[in-house]
Amino acid sequence: MPITDILRRNRDMYGDDICLVEINPEIKEVRRVTWKEYELMEPNPTTHYRREITWHVFDEKANRFANLLLSRGIKKGDKVGILLMNCLEWLPIYFGILKTGALAVPLNFRYASDEIEYCVNLADVDILVFGPEFIGRVEEIADSISTNRLLFFVGDNCPTFAEDYNSLTSNCSSKDPDIPLTDEDDAVIYFSSGTTGFPKAILHNHESLMHSCKVEQNHHGQTKDDVFLCIPPLYHTGAKMHWFGSFLVGAKAVLLKGTKPKFILDAVSKEHCSIVWLLVPWAQDILDAIDSGEVKLEDYELDQWRLMHIGAQPVPPSLIARWKKVFPNHQYDTNYGLSESIGPGCVHLGVENIHKVGAIGKAGYGWQVKIVDENRNTVPKGEVGELAVYGPGVMTCYYKDPAATAEVMQDGWLFTGDMAQEDEDGFIFLVDRKKDVVISGGENIYPVQIEDFLRAHSAIKDVAVIGIPDKRLGEVTAAIIELKPGVTCTEDDINNFCHKLPRYKRPHKIIFADVPRNPTGKIEKPKLRQIYCGESLVASQNKG
């Protein structure tokens, strides 16, 4: 069934229950605060912004927006873009689009003006909904993109080149439009991360969305009593599809705008969150803040927190070992996925398999996986090959790009571009991105393996390993190392630490610098290659 039916069911069964909460700890005001005055808001009530809505209001807002779209000529198969930071309006707008039979097209909030223009043109967007953070970027391209499309603004003080979402929807009917939908109908267009150039448009149908709900709830056992803390951006499949597990059972979710350890722990404590999905840097920051005394666990109510899971990137086993020492009662899990497979879960570790930390797991609920060679033949266990996945969540295609689709899809299988190997117990370990493998003197070197090793060093906060040109060997490895604040470490210290690695895996260059990551936590290696490849590499001898 289409995913919009779940919203209708939640409205009917849990209409008066709180479904979404928005918290922004950095806004210096209090607005519409409830929940026992936000649990008395100690110690500083002036730093909390909190809003909430019920399932009934969620559905009503979705219906109002759907009816607005229909009044403007939007019909089944049209596309509506969403360019918003995480906020209470985001998901009702998304579901309002789906209720019309149109396709929701979420856009990355980091897109520059030219990328926004490129994506709305590529996806044939008819209406763009945007927030106050994007006024400048949208204004730059408003003349070129508004010729054949409408612009709706969500927020206060609507700019003159757009229409006011709030006033428009307040005058629309809250009656459900009841547009007939099927599993096969197109539902959404997501965009690839775009780290190798302009992104590709990824088309999914309603079956994909429903499958992601079932996968997430099957893997993490959400119940109506769970509370999910959502921090990553909703435009990305990872955050939304993890929320889908809560959505499926009518559970509450908290949208937290801010990633500081104090913000996260405060939200978990005051909102009684039981499930938290973190990215590697945020988990590490929490542990570092605890170690330094910046935060004290006794100041928070955390007994209800049952599950911490991580995705979107390889997870260092050393990080999870640290986490379990601090939070011994937490379940831990990781999921692997990509936007082309409707987000996380096509490969799944499972909370019962923490002894296999470092692996991404086995085939997820309703999925099949295999590892293949360059001819797409399955390789024996233990050999490195490309990971391929098959299931109801595989994309329909790259929208308007049959050549790119043919490159990654064959007989329903999606070839991910990730290099992996399967151990004797059937668990899959990511080795690296196919495009990130370094070939040095004819030897394949997988940067992720070196990164995992280096993260065990007590001075290292983050690390990325890339290949740089070398006249003799073709490529050699360079390690870009971001140190923990206040720590001193030298190139010799790192080289001595790396003596435990086989010689061919030891980094040839050590560079002390920040490691850039995108909003979903993935290291931006193309940016690093652009910075360092072909340049004179002089590593700092000290940093502290």
For residue 49, being part of any structural domain is answered with no
**Host domain of residue 520:** 438-532
Task: Kindly indicate the confidence band of residue 208, based on its pLDDT and cuts at 50, 70 and 90.
Answer: very high
Q: What is the mean pLDDT of the chain?
A: 88
Least confidently predicted of 138-142, 318-322, 519-523? 519-523
Checking if the pLDDT of 34 tops 70, the result is no
For residue 513, being part of any structural domain is answered with yes
Read off the pLDDT of each residue in 60-83 and give the average, rounded to a whole number: 97
pLDDT at 539: 36
Read off the pLDDT of each residue in 139-161 and give the average, rounded to a whole number: 90
Checking if the pLDDT of 324 tops 50, the result is yes
Q: What is the pLDDT of residues 475-491, one digit of tens each?
A: 789 999 999 988 999 99
Single-letter residue type at 118? Y
The number of C-alpha atoms within 13 Å of 417 and in the hemisphere containing its C-beta is: 14
Checking if the pLDDT of 42 tops 60, the result is no
Task: Kindly indicate the confidence band of residue 436, based on its pLDDT and cuts at 50, 70 and 90.
Answer: confident
Least confidently predicted of 32-46, 384-398, 431-445? 32-46
Checking if the pLDDT of 39 tops 50, the result is no
Task: Kindly indicate the confidence band of residue 40, based on its pLDDT and cuts at 50, 70 and 90.
Answer: very low
Checking if the pLDDT of 53 tops 50, the result is yes
pLDDT at 542: 32
pLDDT at 472: 63
Task: Kindly indicate the confidence band of residue 417, based on its pLDDT and cuts at 50, 70 and 90.
Answer: confident
For residue 463, being part of any structural domain is answered with yes
Interatomic CA distance for residues 152 and 170, integer angstroms: 14
pLDDT at 38: 42
Strand, coil or helix: what is 501? coil
Read off the pLDDT of each residue in 385-396 and give the average, rounded to a whole number: 96
pLDDT at 536: 37
Interatomic CA distance for residues 127 and 163, integer angstroms: 11
Least confidently predicted of 231-240, 395-404, 436-445? 436-445
Strand, coil or helix: what is 66? helix
Strand, coil or helix: what is 365? coil
Checking if the pLDDT of 442 tops 70, the result is no
Checking if the pLDDT of 501 tops 80, the result is yes
Task: Kindly indicate the confidence band of residue 537, based on its pLDDT and cuts at 50, 70 and 90.
Answer: very low
Is the C-alpha dihedral spanning 436, 440, 446, 451 positive or negative? negative
Checking if the pLDDT of 459 tops 70, the result is yes
Q: How many domains does the chain have?
A: 1
Checking if the pLDDT of 352 tops 70, the result is yes
pLDDT at 72: 96
pLDDT at 26: 75
Interatomic CA distance for residues 407 and 518, integer angstroms: 25
For residue 508, being part of any structural domain is answered with yes
For residue 466, being part of any structural domain is answered with yes
pTM of the complete model: 0.82
For residue 132, being part of any structural domain is answered with no
Residues 184, 205: contact at Cβ < 8 Å?
yes
Q: What is the pLDDT of residues 108-147, one digit of tens each?
A: 888 889 889 999 999 999 999 999 999 999 999 999 887 7
Domain CATH code at residue 493? 3.30.300.30
pLDDT at 43: 40
pLDDT at 430: 84
Instruction: Name the E strands within 6-113.
Output: 18-24, 49-54, 79-83, 103-106
pLDDT at 520: 61
Helix axes 4-14, 237-249, angle to 10 degrees: 40
257 or 433, which is more confident:
257
Task: Kindly indicate the confidence band of residue 522, based on its pLDDT and cuts at 50, 70 and 90.
Answer: confident
Interatomic CA distance for residues 320 and 322, integer angstroms: 5
Residues 367, 346: contact at Cβ < 8 Å?
yes
Provide, rounded to the nearest whole percent, the portion of the chain with pLDDT above 70. 90
For residue 222, being part of any structural domain is answered with no
pLDDT at 206: 96
Read off the pLDDT of each residue in 225-232 and give the average, rounded to a whole number: 96
Task: Kindly indicate the confidence band of residue 541, based on its pLDDT and cuts at 50, 70 and 90.
Answer: very low
Backbone angles phi, psi at 141, to 5 degrees: -115, 5
For residue 447, being part of any structural domain is answered with yes
Read off the pLDDT of each residue in 205-216 and give the average, rounded to a whole number: 96
Task: Kindly indicate the confidence band of residue 405, based on its pLDDT and cuts at 50, 70 and 90.
Answer: very high
Checking if the pLDDT of 534 tops 70, the result is no
Q: What is the pLDDT of residues 174-204, one digit of tens each?
A: 999 999 999 999 999 999 865 445 789 999 9
Is the C-alpha dihedral spanning 376, 377, 383, 387 positive or negative? positive
